[in-house]
Chain A
Amino acid sequence: MAPRPTPAVRVQAEDFDLGREQALLTRGRRDIGALVSFVGLCRDEDGALEALELEHYPGMAEAEICRVADDALERWPLQALTVIHRFGRIQPGEQIVLVLAAARHRADAFAAAEFLMDFLKTRAPFWKKERRADGAPGDWVNAKSEDDAAADRWR
């Protein structure tokens, strides 16, 4: 059994590049058979959203993502893991979150990526506030019970 990898976790205002992160993760590796990537985007459904302001709890955001990543490494034999979560002002179409999960076989990589996203949504201390295109005061996005249910099914 290979030693457990150290997840690469970053919380940053800057955008990220999927291709670059994937190249970093696979560089020099010949043993990875499956690499699953998930990118969460800022979404506008009816032209009303100017941007999201993502607030976070510095220090705890990184720590909590690392705890979720460690849980994933306990459950699946992953070979590498990258999680990047942005904060600050993010406009529709822009990237918010990246999960890269590498394993020998796809089932483990798919499951781990989904698990990570389900728990990031419900445990990582980030909050989204809407900035509306019409200048009216925007609201804080409410947590969804579907997200809690999605996380609960892993218990």
Chain B
Amino acid sequence: MKALYFAWVRERIGLAEEEIAPPREVVTVRELIDWLSARGEGYAAAFANPATIRAALDKMHAAPDAPIGAAREIAFFPPMTGG
């Protein structure tokens, strides 16, 4: 699946997007965050405070316990500051 990162999540990871292939035991958004956090320092810094991370599955907001299911795209970003 494609992973997209925005704002300071993107800056800390150092990537705007990448292809990821999480193992089958990664079921929820929260589990995917834990799995990504273990990939390196940038990821660990980006996801250090899960309360400040928002996620979207196929461009729809998704809660931490939402199953990733067959989503083709997941995005991680800070709380929104538009408007």
Interface residues of A (CB under 8 A from B): 40, 54-57, 59-61, 63-64, 85, 96-97, 117, 120-129, 140-143, 147
Say if the beta carbon of B75 comes within 8 Å of chain A. Answer: yes
Interface residues of B in 6-24 (CB under 8 A from A): 6-8
Q: Report how far A56 CA is from B59 CA in the complex, Å.
A: 12
Cβ contacts under 8 Å, B78 to chain A: 127, 140, 143
Interface residues of B (CB under 8 A from A): 4, 6-8, 56, 59-61, 75, 77-83
* Residue pair A127, B75 in contact (C-beta under 8 Å): no
Q: Offer 27 A-B interface pairs, CB within 8 angstroms, sorted by A.
A: A55-B6, A55-B7, A57-B59, A57-B77, A59-B59, A61-B82, A64-B61, A85-B82, A85-B83, A96-B82, A117-B83, A120-B83, A121-B82, A122-B80, A124-B80, A124-B82, A125-B77, A125-B82, A126-B81, A127-B6, A127-B80, A127-B81, A128-B82, A140-B7, A141-B81, A143-B78, A143-B79
